[in-house]
Structure 1
Amino acid sequence: MTVAQPDVSVIIGAYEAMPYLIECLASVEAQTLDPERIEVIAVDDGSTDGTGEYLEEFAERAPMHVLVIRQENSGGPSGPRNVGLGKATGRYVFFLDADDRLGPEALERMVDMADRAGTDVVLGKVEGVNRSAPKSMWGKTVERADVYSSNIKFTLSAQKLFRRALLERHGMRFDESLFTGEDALFTMEAYLRADGVSVVADHTCYYLVGRDDGKHVTKSGSYTLRFDSARALMNLIAELVPAGGRRDQLMVRPFLVTLLPQFGPKYLTDSEEIRRHKFELAKPLMDAYWTEGVAQRLKVHERLRLHLVAEQRPDLLLDVVKFVKAKKQAAALLERKGRRVYLAYPHFRDRAAGIPDSVYLAEPREARVFPGYREGGVDTFVRRAVRKARRVLTSREVRPAA
């Protein structure tokens, strides 16, 4: 008898996951999608806390097909996910962390969305439990979006529905050499290669659970691993997207989320040796990918810090980081009759520092909060002059001959 292909393969990589695994598996069992349309592939990555045994017990009683693989510890989440992906037979795959849990109806809603819209990736709304979760991309349900027209670049975790044919066509797997940010690399590649991405924003599909023991993988890892992650993501974006506005738009994500925190409050407690090393690690990335297009998309304090990193000015950076950590509001200087707002962070118009005024210039979205700001600037006057000239020319063209 021919066994029907499952709709979705739920891949669970599990390491020392008890007792969180109990609720995780219960959330899979409670899904409204027909159990015959689901397969679970659970990879126990060398646990010693009963995780493997509990997975085997679940496999015996679960209504859907469950494959349990037990292996020696691989040292990270990529290995188990890749093993599971190699065994998957579903039309779609969903990566579920053993600490987390699915929302009710999650798989049914995401599979229905992918089938209806014909998209290759589906994001289901995520909520945090004892931890924060991304928020900016859940404004509304969208059947067909992409990485440029939405905020999905700010959720690059692997907990999404992927069309397996897309992954197989491009030989996509998680990079096992990375110990943080491996899911960002995988998900960004999927976004860029996908024939459309859908967003299910009107129903919570995933609960991101913060562990009481603090052992969640994203909390571990040294600063050098963060630079490895930023480098890999920047290189991927550069490989798949030509230089220009679209690339700059995507580069905001690794600069803002991965690189900038290395020059945040933690920098103040770093030793001189680590500070020097961070600048050394950042230099090739700044040289290759820091552009005016990226800079213009950031807030002033973000742009200023990264500018100083790009210019290799650790002496000036320290004052800026202290100012930012103190949560002080930089004084606003309005010029050009309110059409320009400069934020006077440390070293503003300091001749010795030599930082261009443009670094301190607030973009409209940041400038709007300051009383007296008049949006538009020079470009508005140019556009008005052009419109006036066109009206004059038009009136001359239609004026009847004497």
Structure 2
Amino acid sequence: MAVAQPDVTVVIGAYEAMPYLVECLASVEAQTMAPGLIEVIAIDDGSRDGTGECLEEFAARAPMAVTVIRQENSGGPSGPRNVGLAKATGRYVFFLDADDRLGAEALERMVAMADRNGTDVVLGRVEGINRNPPKSMWAKTLERTDVFSSNIKFTLSAQKLFRREFLQRHDIRFDESLWTGEDALFTMEAYLRADGVSVVADYTCYYLVGRSDGKHVTKSGSYTLRFDSARALMGLLERLLPAGPKRDVLMVRPFLVTVLPQFGPVFLRNDEEIRRTKMELARPLMDAYWNEGVAQRLKVHERLRLELVARQRPDLLVDVLEFIKAKSEPTPVLKKRNTQLYLAYPHYGSRDAGLPDRIYLAEPREASAYPGWRKDTAETFLRGFARKVRRRLRRFRRPPTRPGGTAAA
């Protein structure tokens, strides 16, 4: 008798995961989805703290099918996830970190969402326990969306539901050469290739747990690994998208989330050698991918810092960072009938610095926080300007007239 295909394979890559693994596995066992519809593939990546034994005990008593694979340490999360993905048989696959946990209805709700809409990726609402999860994409449940029409680009972790046949068809796997950011590469490629993405925002599907032992790679990774991650993600976007607005809107993510933090308050604490190395690592990324289309989508202080990195001006960058560290507020400067707002961070208007004013120009969303700038004022000015342009164009289009005022044939 043929065994029915499970609805979802839960892949758990585990390394030194005790005691967090106990609650992780309990959350799998507590799923409201029928146990026969769940398959678990757990990979012990060379642990020495009892992780492997805990997984085997779970496999012996769990009501769903559980396969435990024990292997030598691979050095990162990509290897175990790829092993689990290769062994998976479910229609969908979900990557669960061994120190996190699922909401009881998580798998049932996400599979139902994917089946209802035919989407290839489903995001379930995430809450943090001693960690700060991404928040901007959980405003409302979305039956069907994409990476350009929503904020899902700001959650590129692997803890999502993926249609397995879709991953196989496009040969999407985790990059085992990356020590951090490997899930961002995997998930962004899935977003871009997916026939639709769904968002479950009205139920907490995933609990992101902060470890007290500090073993999260995202916390402990060297700054050089961050640049490796940014380089890989930017290269993926370059390969999959032509230059233009769509690429620019996604390029914001690696610049804002991965590159910019290296040139924040930590830069002031870095010694001169590390500062110089960071500038050198950033240079090829700025040369290849930093442009006005990306810059205009950032806040002034973000744009200014990255522009100074692009110009290789650490001296000016330090001035800006000291200004921000002191919690100083930039002076707002209104121009053009109050329709343009400039924020006078350090070196605004300085001839010696040679920075164009456009770097300091606040975009409408940022400008709206300042009482001297009003959206309706800016729109009125823009409408008036557009009317002047149309009138001038109509004059150019009028047919020439003969003497006496009649139009020429």
Q: TM-score, normalised by structure 2?
A: 0.94
Q: Amino acid of the residue matched to residue 149 of structure 2?
A: S
Tell me whether 1:381 sits opposite 2:390 in the alignment.
Answer: no
Q: Amino acid of the residue matched to residue 13 of structure 1?
A: G
Equivalent-residue separation in structure 1 for 2:13 and 2:286 (angstroms) = 35
Tell me whether 1:158 sits opposite 2:167 in the alignment.
Answer: no
Identity of aligned residues (%): 76
Q: Amino acid of the residue matched to residue 157 of structure 1?
A: S
Equivalent-residue separation in structure 2 for 1:391 and 1:61 (angstroms) = 80
Residues 14 and 42 in structure 2, CA contact (< 8 A), matched pair in contact too? yes
Question: Per-residue displacement from partner, 1:324-362 (whole Å, max 9, x unpaired)?
Answer: 222221111111121111101000001100000000000
Equivalent-residue separation in structure 2 for 1:326 and 1:174 (angstroms) = 41
Q: Secondary structure at the match of 1:44?
A: strand
Instruction: Give unmatched runs, 5+ long, in structure 2.
Output: 396-409
1:12-31 alignment runs, 5 A limit:
12-31=12-31
Residues 264 and 325 in structure 1, CA contact (< 8 A), matched pair in contact too? no
Equivalent-residue separation in structure 2 for 1:217 and 1:31 (angstroms) = 28
Tell me whether 1:351 sits opposite 2:354 in the alignment.
Answer: no
Q: Secondary structure at the match of 1:195?
A: coil
Equivalent-residue separation in structure 2 for 1:126 and 1:278 (angstroms) = 32
Question: Per-residue displacement from partner, 1:152-189 (whole Å, max 9, x unpaired)?
Answer: 00000000000001110111110111001000000000
Question: Per-residue displacement from partner, 1:182-219 (whole Å, max 9, x unpaired)?
Answer: 00000000000000000000000000000121212211
Which residue in the other structure is 2:248 paired with? Answer: 248
Which residue in the other structure is 2:77 paired with? Answer: 77
Which residue in the other structure is 2:269 paired with? Answer: 269
Which residue in the other structure is 1:398 paired with? Answer: none
Please report the RMSD computed on the Cα atoms of aligned residues, expressed in angstroms.
1.5
Equivalent-residue separation in structure 1 for 2:182 and 2:131 (angstroms) = 20
Which residue in the other structure is 1:114 paired with? Answer: 114
* Displacement of 1:269: 1.0
Equivalent-residue separation in structure 2 for 1:385 and 1:349 (angstroms) = 30
- Pick which of 217-226 and 193-202 moved more: 217-226
* Displacement of 1:389: 8.9
* Displacement of 1:383: 3.1
Which residue in the other structure is 2:402 paired with? Answer: none
Which residue in the other structure is 1:396 paired with? Answer: none
Which residue in the other structure is 2:407 paired with? Answer: none
Q: Flag the 1:390–1:313 CA change in 2: closer, same or farther, 3 A.
A: closer
Instruction: Give unmatched runs, 5+ long, in structure 1.
Output: 393-402
Which residue in the other structure is 1:196 paired with? Answer: 196
Which residue in the other structure is 1:141 paired with? Answer: 141
1:311-350 alignment runs, 5 A limit:
311-350=311-350
Q: Secondary structure at the match of 1:238?
A: helix
* Displacement of 1:382: 2.5
Q: Secondary structure at the match of 1:274?
A: helix
Equivalent-residue separation in structure 1 for 2:155 and 2:8 (angstroms) = 21
Residues 214 and 220 in structure 2, CA contact (< 8 A), matched pair in contact too? no
Which residue in the other structure is 2:213 paired with? Answer: 213
Which residue in the other structure is 2:400 paired with? Answer: none
Equivalent-residue separation in structure 2 for 1:119 and 1:312 (angstroms) = 44
Equivalent-residue separation in structure 2 for 1:11 and 1:220 (angstroms) = 24
